[in-house]
Structure 1
Amino acid sequence: MNSDSKWLDSAREQWLWRGEERPPFADVPASGQLSVWDFPRPPELVREAREIVVLWGNLEVARTQAAWAVRETAHPPTFYLPLVDVQLDLLHPAAGGSFCEWKGPARYWDLVDGARRLGQVAWSYPNPLSGAEPLANCVAFYAHNLDCYVGGSKARPQPGGFYGGWITSDLAGPFKGGPDSGAW
């Protein structure tokens, strides 16, 4: 995990698909849908107008109308919620970390409520790379073990165990994280 410029350049150059054209296997978007294959790489940060809600059973973890959507080629958006709109007492630092060639070093979080714990269910970029600065005071959640809503509609988690995008009915895929998607 290195942020030197040669490593970053090399990591960024590996991507074949950059949102400039859709691959032949991309789903054709229905009316009102966006193709994740039209999202750019490097990703764009877009203010999300819809309300984002994260529930852990009956417990509201977060609710905001000020999220950032990170939209990257082949991925459903990942929503970054301002920390001021998150129940911070539920977040506890988790072990480990990762490095994104676009956003920088990630910190992971557990959700803890009494005896209940969800390990590494959230992450943040407290010191993001240039271009991702709006994410510095935000956190994102994996939708795998939570109920996550975008504009009142329940989102599904992005396939795979690593990626954190949320799939909504207004998106056309296929989505990175599924079988044979490693080179996307």
Structure 2
Amino acid sequence: MLVSSAVFRRASTIRAMAHQTENVGEYPRPPRLEPTNLHLRVLLHGEVIADTKNTNEVAFRVLETHHPPTYYIPPSAVTPGVIQSSNGGETMCEWKGRASYFNVMLPSFSSENSAAPATSTEMIPRRVWAYLNPTPAFKPIAGYYSFYASPFECYVDGEKVEAQPGNFYGGWKTSWIEGPIKGAPGTNFW
């Protein structure tokens, strides 16, 4: 049975009504860290990479002017064995400190039978980061993982997110997030 796009738009509208609309232009600078009880899921090719329903630890989100929220997921919510160090490469955030990057390793199977041994491993390089020793204001997210929305399928409370424009920032845009978002060409100096 085919479902019209109007049904999907209506479902997205209903989810947005369940959340208060937020305008990224009203987010603070310097950024604010806050705990969240939103259900966060990260999938790759339908396989669960992370799911906050699988932990009792709280997740966090960082809110910064002109950025959709960036979510930080506790390690206990991540499928064991899928995240591995990328062996080098760090970036520096003036607010949070030094970020380390990670690869996602996902076993690939040659048949429909996922019980069969993996025939290879797919590696998604450097699309996950963490602050292993963040600045004092961001200590609660030490060792928590943040995922770029692409190439993953990321969800907040069941809604598939849009990746923040560009390839540098890792915010997750949902239907209840509004306002001009940094990351697209021409927005680097906002």
The interval holding the TM-score normalised by the smaller chain is: 0.7 to 0.9
- Pairwise CA distance, 1:153: 0.3
Q: Percent identity between the aligned chains?
A: 39
Partner of 1:102: 95
| Matched AA of 1:51 | H
- Pairwise CA distance, 1:49: 2.0
| Matched AA of 2:136 | S
Rg larger for = 2
Q: Distance in 1 between matches of 2:25 and 2:46?
A: 35
- Pairwise CA distance, 1:84: 0.9
- Pairwise CA distance, 1:87: 1.5
- Pairwise CA distance, 1:50: 1.3
Q: Give secondary structure in 1 for the equivalent of 2:92.
A: strand
Q: How does 1:34-183 map to 2 (within 5 A)?
A: 34-64=22-52, 66-94=58-86, 95-114=88-107, 115-183=121-189
Instruction: Could you list the structure 1 runs, at least 4 aligned residues long, displaced by more than 4 angstroms after superposition.
Output: none
- Pairwise CA distance, 1:99: 0.5
| Matched AA of 1:137 | G
- Pairwise CA distance, 1:144: 1.0
Q: Give secondary structure in 2 for the equivalent of 1:37.
A: helix
Task: Give ranges in structure 1 of 5+ residues lacking alignment.
Answer: 1-29
**Across the two proteins, how many residue pairs are aligned to each other?**
155
Q: Distance in 2 between matches of 1:99 and 1:143?
A: 20
Q: Give secondary structure in 2 for the equivalent of 1:138.
A: coil
**1:135-161 deviations in whole A, cap 9, x for unaligned?**
103010000100000000000100011
What's the TM-score once normalised by structure 2's chain length?
A: 0.78
Q: Distance in 1 between matches of 2:155 and 2:28?
A: 24
**1:45-104 deviations in whole A, cap 9, x for unaligned?**
111121000001121000115210100000000000001111230011113110100000
Q: Distance in 2 between matches of 1:167 and 1:43?
A: 17
Q: Distance in 2 between matches of 1:54 and 1:173?
A: 25
What's the TM-score once normalised by structure 1's chain length?
A: 0.81
